[in-house]
Structure 1
Amino acid sequence: MSELVKHKQSSESKCIQTSCPYCGVGCGVDITIQQGEAVKLSGTPEHPANFGRLCVKGTNLLATNHHQGRLLHPVVHGEQTSWEKAIETVAARFKQIIKQHGPDAVAFYGSGQLLTEDYYVANKLMKGYIGSANIDTNSRLCMSSAVSGYKRAFGEDLVPCSYQDLENTDLILLTGSNAAWTHPVLFQRMEKAKAVNPKLQIIAIDPRRTASAELADFHLPIKPGTDAALFNGLLSFLADNNGLDQAYIDSYTNNFSACLEQAKQWTITQTASYCDISKDLLTRLYQAFLTSKRVINFFSQGINQSSSGADKCNAIINCHLASGKIGKAGSGPFSITGQPNAMGGREVGGLSNLLAAHMELDNPKHRELVQGFWQSPTLASSPGYKATDLFDKINEGKVKAVWIMATNPAVSLPDRTKVEQALSRCDFVVVSDCVASNDTLAFADIKLPATTWSEKNGTVTNSERRISRQRSLLTAPGEALDDWKIISRVAKAMGFDLGFNYRGPGDIFDEHARLTAFNNNGERALDLSGLTGLTSAEYDRLKPVQWPVNAKYPQGCPQVLADGNFFTDNARANFIEIIPAPPKLACCTDHPFSLTSGRLRDQWHTMTRTGKANILAEHTKAPEITLNPEDARSLDVAEGDMIRVSNKTGVIYLQAKLSDSVAAKQVFVPIHWNREFASSAVANQLFAAIVDPISGQPEFKQTPVQLEKAVIKQYALLYSPQPLKNFTAGLAKGCHWVQHLGVQGPVYHCYFEQKITDLAGQLKQHISRSIRDGASQETQAENSWLSYQNEHSSQHIALGGEGFNAFVFISDKPIRLDDSWLNELLQNQETSAEQINALLRAKAPKNRGRKICSCFSVYEHDIIEAIQNDGINSVDALGSALKCGTNCGSCKTELSSLLREQEAIVQTFIPSDEPDEVIT
């Protein structure tokens, strides 16, 4: 047995090295285990992805690791059952549907949260044994455009760069990437590189002025969707200003003349006009690229999530090929992955148009190789349904059964109404997940309990092709199983005994590595022949390594394409002719605002993990829509007002956040909230199922919407020690609520479009019931309620045996009460009469605003006071005075922004001392 897992049999302290389960950076994490519990976490100092750094999400991983809300047992048609019955039911239904309707009547939908070993087994079962390619993944939503771009240009899904390039370059273009929030550890490497080398230029290209722009030398606020024109214009500029590497073009590429002929139409004047930016700014960007010997174009969802995302990727790649700024240290087109194992999934064929080991479904030789290696009874011969197509086919009745693994498509796919309709119509829906409840599980016929981050054991591949071990730390709760085990059991129950007799993830990894080497002969960059035949102990001890790993690169390869050898038919890179295309849906009189979506700093995907940590809710407690102050004035909207956001696809309700980070007629919404955390804030309800025809990736960065100020007649703030299920059912229609986790239970903010006469009584009754249901028999004493009422509001406090444990605040005006104060009261062992009296009269201390620094609980108002009163004028000085920004560093860009904008922001957060005015 490996030393890495001996902690399960020992009470002594052990340090286990694993990897972070959030973004594609792939940070190493050291976990201290004591008596079977994870008690301490830090970044792995020697891991090449992060060298000990962690962002705020990674830093707080242990706060998300509790078992509350976990799915612990198999459930068949609403009834808890045994694994034997659940597996038998899944296998029998799949076999029945395949026999009656054929293999294409079933499908799998996976996730970048799966480990490579999980992915491999799922892909093998679907493509090699069921005989269909209907296996796709939520990586389709974040990376498939980059995959298509790389494959068209290089012949293979091949990210040519390494993180070290960020520190060895002259110019970084942050294109459609808010790395400060989405990939903070890499952004910190950029910050450090710029501090060490002041000549390093960083340019932010984004319609929004994001947190990342704080580090940039300048920001190009291009019109949404115009990126392809921007880079066509750059290629034209390079040709006109001696910026081409003709020797490289002649020696290593195809189709340059036709590509340049198309790009030459994009002059400086035409490009500036099309992108809606000044010629001076555009020229400044082009000159920076022209004169920099080394350039990294660091791009993400702003490029990929588009109806022409693949073309945008190739427009970027064209510029690097034409200038020869590729295949060398500090240069290249660097797509940054959104999920921890999106790349590992692609390696094993986890998309519906791929075969395992970077082989192609439409290549007969590749199909023969894979089937021969697997010794499988069949092999899919044509691409399966991509994610959005899959749910169309379910709606049409062509797909009768779907197995969804570790993802929540009801929230993440576009056009929620269509996805819900498909799931409700599907004959048989299986969901394997670690949670007991989410938007997708509501439609499941069978729920299978899966392990999560701290229990999983296998490998992941990060954005720079680096394979790392994710090691199990803790014993899985209840009956939860690893995904590969669940899939293998179903495969055997379907009669596929020989292909799924794995003893552990090491066996699966070895098979995957051997397949990458099988008849490769240098034809594919993905080659793990140097990692085949590992013993169990060697697999357990596997150090992070970048593929390819083979005889030529036994220690891995940081810089691929250095030899100019590509993986196309003639081993030369392809220039792709690009005709820029605008977003499919244009703004109009009825829908005049252009909406984009994206991530926030402290949340992740649909909040399955981050929603469990109170500290991660403090930065942004509710879903907001960011709009320009000019637009807010025209709509008569103030900060915090509720806004109705609508278009032909759907309607959601969000709080207004005013900022000039977005241009007039542009708005931004976060993607994270779902119906577990908010009643009417699911962003995908606003996006039609419009996808890139090449990559299948949805257009999530632009959709036209209408904004209206919602008329709210009544407001409520609830603090409860237990979650409240369906607490608004039976109340008047038009109630919108948002929930986040407080220190001892959930906090609910409610907004009512109709006034309810006895709202306080109904809410008190509901909370009292939840307190009784959540208490043990020994502590089921009835709570007493204290109440206070004035002209505009009423406050109600539940007093139990240990003091104040619930709170209801109802008002006919917006509630500005700072609920961080309630958190502090709840953390006290005893609440004084003075504090209860202040709470009853809503006489809270000054509202401290957002928690900017989660690591040290530093609030916005604290920072503003330090800037105003102490004359602080730098991020470092704020760190010295308040400690903010001195741990994970995720808040440093916001500190910089506050230093720049604090006079405009501070007015929002200073309430009056009078109790009636506090809630005005």
Structure 2
Amino acid sequence: MRGDPDHPANYGRLCSKGVALGETMSLNDRLLAPRVNGAETGWDDALDLVADRFSSAIAQHGPDAVAFYVSGQLLTEDYYVANKLMKGFIGSANIDTNSRLCMASTVAGHKRAFGTDTVPGTYEDIELADLVVLVGSNLAWCHPVLYQRLAQAKVDRPEMRVVVIDPRRTATCDLADLHLALESGSDVALFNRLLTAIHEGGAVDADYLRHVDGFDATLRAAASEDGTATNLAERDIRFFCDLWVRTEKVVTVFSQGVNQSTSGTDKVNAILNCHLATGRIGRPGMGPLSVTGQPNAMGGREVGGLANALACHMDLAEPAHRDAVQALWNAPAMPHQAGLKAVDLFDRVADGTIKALWIICTNPAVSMPEADRVRDAIRGCDFVVVSDVTERTDTAQLAHVLLPATGWAEKDGTVTNSDRTISRQRALLPAPGRARHDWDILADVGRRMGWPEAFNYSHPSQIFDEHAALSSVAAGFGLDFDISGLRALGQEGYDAFPPTRWPVTLAGTIERFYADGGFHTPNGRARMVPVMARAPVARTGPRFPFRLNTGRIRDQWHTMTRTAKAPRLNQHLGEPFLQVHPDDAATLGIEPATLVEVTSPTGRCVLRASITDRVTRGQVFAPIHWTAQTAPTGRVDALVASAVDPLSGQPESKAAVVALAPFAADWFGFAVSTTALKADCAYWARSKGTGGWRAELAGTTTPGDWEAEARRLFDLPDAACQSISDPSGGIARLAFSQDGLLVAALFVSRAPVALSRDHLAAQLGQLLDAPLAGRPGADRPDPGPALCACMNVGRNTILAAIGSGEAATVAEVGACTTAGTNCGSCRPEIAALLERHQMLTAAE
């Protein structure tokens, strides 16, 4: 896999997930034919059933008795057809998206301030800025290509300053001149303090305020807060405010730490208020920049993917907008009010209001807050359709009808990134088996439900052309989204379409919005919004004294439907974990690498303890990726309550309340096998490795016969077994071979198993001619756990280069080992190893 050096978003750079995409395209777990109640069937039978059951539910209970739940990983054309079918023809707005979980608060904040969901600036502004403020964004791990653009800009212009605002010290902080570890949820208090400093420091742009309403009221609200809610030192607040005030070219990048909050919309507006007051918006190197959490969250926003929106940024609540969309679609019915947002949608599934549910390209049984309750709601729904690439997701296993969809390598259409650049995605491979494109499946159901003309598409270029035509209608209402200049590209022009930033009008393109006003409100003026800090809805207390922050790790994506197939992506952090501050761990008796039982008012998890000062006392962090297929007790969103922002409907995923306790494991184990393991102990986490599978295990009761237990675990009733055991010490080591080759091994102890996991996994398929060791011999270097996924370089290899004196900088480590020379998201960890080595050397 190689990046396109001419693409304006990445200039050829790929992150670790991009580099590993080739490893995810195998068909070994693909859904290749429709299934009804578990039995393979043809497309006609499957889609006739879908059309009939949805039509029957509508006829008996009305259009609001059905719902779609879709995904920011769909292409724009897929998204467009889904919204057209639900809103224009079924006549309900009950279509929402997992993008509700990542950027709905930004949409609401943009609309309050600008009148429409406009991203004013571009990626280039990050490189042109003199100050970049990253708020609630671990850019190094979640947007690593963009992070590398920022890192290179800082190398080119050392005077550039970077501030990170995040309760946790993340990999992104390696680049920061200042890290503000504020209290969870207190962003509004900090930016209100900044707005006050802007006024006191004389940085208000009086000329620009001619384009803005609400300044005085917003300043009064801001001045009533003193910043104490942030829990930051006064000197740090002053330093940040002074830096922001005296630096004209400032870009504020914000992401999930802002959005995923019960006050997320207010946080967005607190940031926008500061840029509007100073006029630092829409000019090169300055402005607010929301970076989304999914590859096509923006495309979904553009076609009205949210339950309260219409295509092309038109508004479902505006009668003129509804009438215009209905006229262009020649649609029989349009809803007059917003549909059910994600949390409400699954509440209505749970209480039986929703009779038929179609879930497309997402896994809500894992990713929604209160995931256990959502899983049970889907299981109890009268009729559930799931379109996906695999049947092996928690959600797919609950479906009555499974529809095989094309995946990334087979899709053909467009996506839009966070700075409004539309890119063509072209298929690399033909659709496998009987898989079909999502837009094609949806259109076929639309035709079967009685609307053949409206859904008579045979190529995605036809959908794009219709979308572009609709955008000219939106432009007539004075809205921002206008790609009318791309109408009638035709299939040839569409296939050759280069990356293009919208708007693209008949008169040309616009790079940035709002440098000279021109907002999309009725009076053309922006709105500053008075906001006040509000604590998270869930309050800590004696029962649940810790605040849980959730998020992503570097090498995995969402619920790992695709990334878990790439062995290199499973090696860096291979199981669910909980970061706990050392003082909290000591108080609770939690030892490093042991297991922690985490409970909340809504669920329970068991996670591996990671003792670190990257979180502050009273705060813990866990990643979101693991599922019932990969680690049943690691489904972290089961811990998260479904409290939402009252305006955006976005759940609060960064501030759940939890209790911690050591998990009383009687034994710990590590296993490798050439085939998938059948684990059913109290704790297990399974991942795909090179040459086979690996699993972390733990139990509360020790088996009486480890060989019998291991044979059951590996399904190897007849394989030769080599075993060593010490029952009094709780130690067992078993290796299984067939035809002399190692096919499985299990190491057990009463404490977390200490061995070289990569070394043991690498022995699979090798000749077993001596007792199996958990570490390589003296004549074989142990690379250690993979730290650089792109180049597959182990931690010990990097330490050896540092210890030898060959490498004293991150760049020199790269020259010696290749680590950090691709996407660079591992460079902060390499820097930490260098710093630790230097400290130890100085202490000697």
The two structures have a TM-score, normalised by structure 1, of 0.89
For residue 61 of structure 1, the aligned residue among 21, 24, 28 is 21
- Cα distance, 1:839 vs structure 2: 5.2
What is the 5 A alignment of 1:309-388?
309-388=264-343
2 CA distance for matches of 1:455 and 1:404? 20
Cα distance, 1:760 vs structure 2: 2.9
Deviation at 1:239, TM superposition (A): 0.9
Q: CA, structure 1 residues 845+584, in 2 after alignment: closer, same or farther (shift >3 Å)?
A: farther
After superposition, the C-alpha distances for 1:412-460 in whole angstroms (9 at most, x for unaligned) are 1100122022112211111000012111112111111100000000000
Conserved 8 A contact 2:757-2:785: no
Deviation at 1:857, TM superposition (A): 2.6
* Counterpart among 394, 407, 421 of residue 439 in structure 1: 394
Partner in structure 2 of residue 577 of structure 1: 530
User: 2:379 corresponds to which letter in structure 1?
Assistant: S
Structure 1 match to 2:212: 253
CA drift at 1:263: 0.9
Q: Summarize deviations over 1:52-92 as a string: whole Å, max 9, x none.
A: 11111111110111111111111111211111100000000
CA deviation map 1:326-384 (0-9, x unaligned) = 01111111000111110101111111000111111110100110000000111111100
Q: Provide the rounded CA distance (Å) in 2 between the counterparts of 1:61 and 1:53.
A: 14
Where does 1:303-702 land on structure 2 (aligned, <5 Å)?
Answer: 303-518=258-473, 520-521=475-476, 523-553=478-508, 556-702=509-655
The count of aligned residue pairs is 839
Alignment deviations for residues 468-523 of structure 1 (CA, whole Å, 9 cap, x no partner): 00111111111110001110111111111110000110000000011001262360
Quote the offset at 1:902 in angstroms. Answer: 4.9
Q: Does structure 2 retain, via aligned residues, the 8 Å contact 1:795–1:841?
A: no
Question: Within 2, Cα distance between the matches of 1:274 and 1:767?
Answer: 53
Which one is further off, 690-699 or 785-794? 785-794
- The equivalent position to 2:162 in structure 1, one of 202, 205, 210, is 202
Distance 1:567 1:60 in 2: 42
- Kept in 2, the 8 Å contact 1:110–1:405? The answer is yes
- Seen in structure 2, the aligned counterparts of structure 1 residues 602 and 501 have a Cα distance that, compared at 3 Å, is same
Using the TM superposition, give the Cα deviation of residue 589 of structure 1 relative to its aligned residue in structure 2, in angstroms.
Answer: 1.5
Contact 2:474 2:482 in 1 (8 A): no
Shift in Å at residue 837 of structure 1? 4.2
Q: Give the aligned residue type for 1:786.
A: Q
Contact 1:760 1:810 (C-alpha < 8 Å) held by counterparts: no
Separation of aligned partners in 1, 2:781 and 2:539? 44
**8 Å contact from structure 1 (residues 516, 528) kept in 2:** yes
Match of 1:870, SS state, is coil
Q: Secondary structure at the match of 2:55?
A: helix
Shift of 1:897: 2.0
* Residue-by-residue CA offset, 1:547-598 (whole Å, 9 max, x unaligned): 0001332xx3321223310100111100111021010011111211111001
Q: Return the letter of the residue paired with 2:721.
A: W
**Aligned residues of 2:692 and 2:761 also touching (Cα < 8 A):** no
1:841 positional shift: 12
The answer as to whether partners of 2:130 and 2:250 remain within 8 angstroms in 1 is yes
Contact 2:759–2:774 (CA<8 Å) still a contact in 1? no
Matched residue type, 2:320: K
Deviation per CA, 1:266-311: give whole Å up to 9, x if none. 2xxx21x211111111111001110111110000000000000000
Report if the CA contact (8 A) 1:788-1:840 is conserved. Answer: no
Q: Report the 3-state secondary structure (helix = DSSP H, G, I; strand = E; otherwise coil) of the residue aligned with 2:665.
A: coil
Q: Quick one: distance in 2 between partners of 1:142 and 1:849?
A: 35
Tell me, in whole angstroms, the C-alpha distance in 2 between the residues paired with 1:88 and 1:355: 28
Q: Which moved more, 1:859-868 or 1:112-121?
A: 859-868
**By how many angstroms is 1:715 displaced?**
2.1
In structure 2, do the counterparts of structure 1 residues 151 and 199 end up closer, same or farther at CA, with 3 Å as the change threshold?
same
Deviations 1:781-835 (A, max 9, x none): x5322222234322222211361121122333321122100232237xx43624x
Q: Structure 2 residue aligned with 1:756, among 695, 703, 706?
A: 703
**Is the contact between residue 162 and residue 558 of structure 1 (CA under 8 Å) also seen in structure 2?**
yes
Contact 2:694 2:761 in 1 (8 A): no
Q: Is 1:817 equivalent to 2:772 in the alignment?
A: no
After TM superposition, give the deviation of residue 838 of structure 1 in Å: 3.1
CA distance in 2, matches of 1:860, 1:436: 35
3-state SS in 1 of match to 2:537? coil
Change (3 A) 1:841 1:205: closer
2:176 counterpart of 1:229: no
SS of corresponding position for 2:644: coil
The CA distance in 2 between the partners of 1:522 and 1:366, in whole Å, is: 8
Residues 347, 905 of structure 1: alpha-carbon distance in 2 compared, 3 angstrom cutoff? farther
Select which of 786, 789, 799 maps to 2:722: 786
Secondary structure at 2:547 match in 1: strand
Provide the alpha-carbon RMSD of the alignment: 1.8
The amino acid across from 1:46 in the alignment is D
Aligned match of 1:805: 743
Alignment of 1:127-142 (within 5 A): 127-142=87-102
In structure 2, how many angstroms separate the alpha carbons of the residues matched to 1:157 and 1:185? 24
Q: 1:636: Cα distance to partner?
A: 2.0
Aligned match of 2:791 in 856, 863, 866?
856
State the 1:840 CA deviation: 11
> Residue 115 of structure 2 aligns with which residue?
155
Aligned partners of 1:485, 1:256: CA distance in 2, in Å? 49
What secondary structure is seen at the aligned counterpart in 2 of 1:826?
A: coil
1:666 to partner: Cα distance: 0.9
1:99 alignment counterpart: 59
Report the Cα offset of residue 762 of structure 1: 2.7
Q: Does 1:262 align with 2:230?
A: no
1:720, distance to aligned residue in structure 2 (A) = 1.8
C-alpha distance in structure 2 between counterparts of 1:499 and 1:818, whole Å: 59
Aligned equivalents of 1:794, 1:321: Cα separation in 2:
65
Structure 1's 397 and 904: CA in aligned 2 closer, same or farther, altered over 3 A?
A: farther
Shift of 1:168: 0.6
Whole-Å separation in 2 of the counterparts to 1:420 and 1:854: 33
Distance 2:636 2:669 in 1: 23
1:134-159 CA-to-partner distances (Å, cap 9, x unmatched) read: 00000000000000000110011111
Match of 2:686 in 1: 739
5+ residue gaps, structure 1, are 1-40, 729-733, 773-781, 907-920
Q: Conserved in 1, the CA contact under 8 Å of 2:669 and 2:747?
A: yes
- CA positional deviation for 1:844: 11
Indicate if the aligned counterparts of 1:788 and 1:841 stay in contact, CA closer than 8 A.
no
Q: What CA distance in whole angstroms lies between the structure 2 residues aligned with 1:839 and 1:327?
A: 58
Distance 1:838 1:872 in 2: 31
Residue 117 of structure 1 deviates from its aligned partner by 0.4
Deviation at 1:638, TM superposition (A): 2.0
Cα contact 1:662–1:668 (8 A) shared by 2: yes
What amino acid does structure 1 have at the position aligned with 2:743? N
Alignment partner of 1:143 is 2:103:
yes
Q: Which moved more, 1:742-751 or 1:618-627?
A: 742-751
Q: Indicate yes or no: 2:5 matched with 1:45.
A: yes
Q: For the structure 1 residues 825 and 572, does the alpha-carbon distance in structure 2 shift closer, same or farther, using more than 3 Å as the test?
A: same
CA 849–275 in structure 1, closer or farther in 2 if over 3 Å, else same: farther
- Once the two structures are overlaid, the 10-residue window that deviates more, 445-454 or 843-852, is 843-852
CA distance, structure 1, for counterparts of residue 616 and residue 201 of structure 2: 32
Over the matched positions of the two proteins, sequence identity in percent amounts to 43
